[in-house]
Amino acid sequence: MTFRNELGRRQFFLLSGGLATSAPHLFDRPKQKSNISTAVPQEDQMERFFLDLGHRATRSGPVASLTDGSLLWITTEPEPPYISKAMWSISRLAMRRSQDGGKSWGGSEILQQGTKDYSLLSHTLRQSSTGKIIHIFVRYSGYDYETGTPEKSLCKVYIQHSNDQGKTWSEAQALPTGERYHGDILSIEQLPGGRWVYPFCFLTNIKSQFAVSAMYSDDDGTTWSRSSSVLTTGGAGFESGASEPTVIALKDQTLWMLIRAQTGYLWESFSGDSGQTWSSAKPSSLPSSNAPATALKLRNGDIAIVWNNHVDSNYARQSLVIGLTNDGKTFKGLREIDFTDFTDDPAIPVQHVTYAYLTETEQGTIIVSYNKGNWSHHNRPMLARISPTWIGANREIVNFKNGRTGWHIINPGPNFSHAVERFVSPDEESLWLEIEQHATNKQPTGIIRSIPLLQEGTIQLTVQVMKPEAFILFGASLLSPRNPNEGSIRIRFSTEGTFIAIGKENREQNNRKATEYIFTSYQITDEIPYPYSPGAKDVLNISVAYQSIKNNVEIKINHGKPISLKTEKIFGLCYLGLLVANGGQIRMHSIEINSINK
């Protein structure tokens, strides 16, 4: 039975950030084309929307593309299920439909309603090759924080179907996993022969530790069997172990599973028998904090993966990226979908962009539903519409013709640790961004930006160092705007000259409460002088040529001799930072990225 939500239809508004013309029908304005030479994407290349229902913390959920051309999107409302038992009965799973590829949405329909015995959280929504829609969700009845064991915790998985494009739904039935408490799942995969594979994670008798297995169905989701494999990743403490897996089929039909862990990387496992058994889990090459990934096979055979490429703390989730791969090893594109800034006040909860759900429209647009904000205080469901050509673009120019777009900053706060930013136009034609320390701040500060993944190619920068000390950093995961001593590659401008250095791999620990978290950082150690000393305020044309397969970088500044260095083995370069310290001041005019996609 489907019930109507009496709250009625709400409007989706476009998120700010230089994309105000991306959905002109919402604002009754004529269409305007974005400048394709800058980082602001063209309309229909990458657009972001958010759903504001007025609830304190609505949670986003799965989105599915249907054969009739519509999209379905499910959200958990009005609060997260773990906030308060007294609120369980008002929790609900609400479904909305879009007829225009996700640009606008109709009113909500209630798929499931909570009771005094359980709250709800939607996990997976996907249409079968036969037209049947499968919806998998959980009924949450509490987690015992004292023991952290399944015997005193309960979160059961349920499944329901629709055979008429989501107009009516079957009664929900329990999925026979054999477990009491399940974690979040963000995907399900159907193989060419029709088999469904549903990876899941469950709480074990090792206190607060999760493990992973999989269910599979050969009758379009009517009956299910469980894999004999149980995958673990070690770990200790609350929300530790192997959890929140995603599964995708590679070209040879081997199944590839990515697993959330606490080691600074996503872990992976493979199945050669369509999900019945799995190899032991091992770390993959993808940097990640203690956060999940989601994978989707596109119609052209590419695999899209969305995850948090941010590793410096247990729940570092301030950058959400999407990449394209064919084999899970090499990528032909990586872009940042959304991000949050760094806080100046440690008492303020860190914001996040995380938990992504993927689908693809008939036109080939990738739709990503995700969450932005803070789980309990201010979380908003987000939706991005992304063109695969934008993800895999070989060339991008970042300048300031459309303002300061896409840069992570430190929000202004009581410590004045944010960089002071101003626009300058030295020749009344070009536009530069200048950053320096606030007069009362004695600590390093700066701004960070995602760049298209560079596994082979060049980065050209045009900068001016107005006052040393200034730094340019490059990294494989989100850099810190406070730390000039961590990164894969660094160029430093000081009163003594110009120096270049490589970050050396170092395993570090940054636990949160009882959860153990160990990650790989790249600490700057030995520097070498660059054989060219620019004059004060000279315009510097910096070339950084990088080859990940050879772990080699070549740096050239103006007319100086190129210097080659061996880097650590990293995933690739996909973040850049400008930092200043000790009264430093630096200007940037532009960045040009040219990659060679294989």
Single out the residue in 392, 414, 432 at which a domain terminates.
392
Asked whether residue 412 falls in the same domain as residue 367, the answer is no
| Exposed/middle/buried for residue 427 (C-beta within 10 Å: 0-12, 13-18, 19+) | exposed
Asked whether residue 218 falls in the same domain as residue 77, the answer is yes
pLDDT at 413 over 70: yes
What was the pLDDT predicted at 213?
98
Could you tell me if residue 45 is inside a domain?
no
The whole-number average pLDDT for the span 264-274 is 98
pLDDT at 209 over 70: yes
Asked whether residue 85 falls in the same domain as residue 181, the answer is yes
Render pLDDT for 4-54 as a digit per residue (tens, 0 to 9). Answer: 333 333 333 333 232 222 332 222 223 333 222 334 456 668 999 999 888
Cα within 13 Å of Cα(72), Cβ side: 25
Whole-model pTM: value is 0.92
Could you tell me if residue 33 is inside a domain?
no
Where in the sequence is the domain holding 550, given as residue range(s)? 397-595
CATH number at residue 558: 2.60.120.560
Asked whether residue 387 falls in the same domain as residue 405, the answer is no
What was the pLDDT predicted at 44?
67
Asked whether residue 204 falls in the same domain as residue 97, the answer is yes
pLDDT at 433 over 80: yes
The whole-number average pLDDT for the span 565-594 is 96
Confidence of residue 329 (pLDDT cuts 50, 70, 90): confident
Could you tell me if residue 421 is inside a domain?
yes
Residue 117 phi, psi (nearest 5): -95, -20
Could you tell me if residue 332 is inside a domain?
yes
Could you tell me if residue 16 is inside a domain?
no
Single out the residue in 335, 362, 392 at which a domain terminates.
392
Cα separation, 307 vs 289, in Å, equals 9
Amino acid at 249: A
Asked whether residue 433 falls in the same domain as residue 379, the answer is no
Q: What's the structural domain count of the chain?
A: 2
What was the pLDDT predicted at 512?
84
Confidence of residue 349 (pLDDT cuts 50, 70, 90): confident
What was the pLDDT predicted at 43?
61
Whether the Cβ atoms of residue 108 and residue 55 lie closer than 8 Å to each other? no
Asked whether residue 312 falls in the same domain as residue 450, the answer is no
Asked whether residue 411 falls in the same domain as residue 337, the answer is no
Amino acid at 318: Q
Q: Which two tokens stand for residue 487?
A: 């990164």
What was the pLDDT predicted at 24?
28
Residues 6+ apart with CB under 8 A from 520: 264, 265, 287, 311, 505, 506, 507, 508
Amino acid at 205: N
pLDDT at 174 over 50: yes
Single out the residue in 333, 357, 392 at which a domain terminates.
392
What was the pLDDT predicted at 42?
60
Asked whether residue 354 falls in the same domain as residue 458, the answer is no
Could you tell me if residue 12 is inside a domain?
no
What was the pLDDT predicted at 494?
95
CATH number at residue 207: 2.120.10.10
Among residues 433, 471, 422, the alpha carbon closest in space to that of 581 is found at 471
Confidence of residue 402 (pLDDT cuts 50, 70, 90): confident
Asked whether residue 231 falls in the same domain as residue 328, the answer is yes
Asked whether residue 402 falls in the same domain as residue 286, the answer is no
Asked whether residue 331 falls in the same domain as residue 441, the answer is no
pLDDT at 302 over 80: yes
Could you tell me if residue 144 is inside a domain?
yes
Could you tell me if residue 507 is inside a domain?
yes
Cα separation, 422 vs 410, in Å, equals 15
The whole-number average pLDDT for the span 198-226 is 97
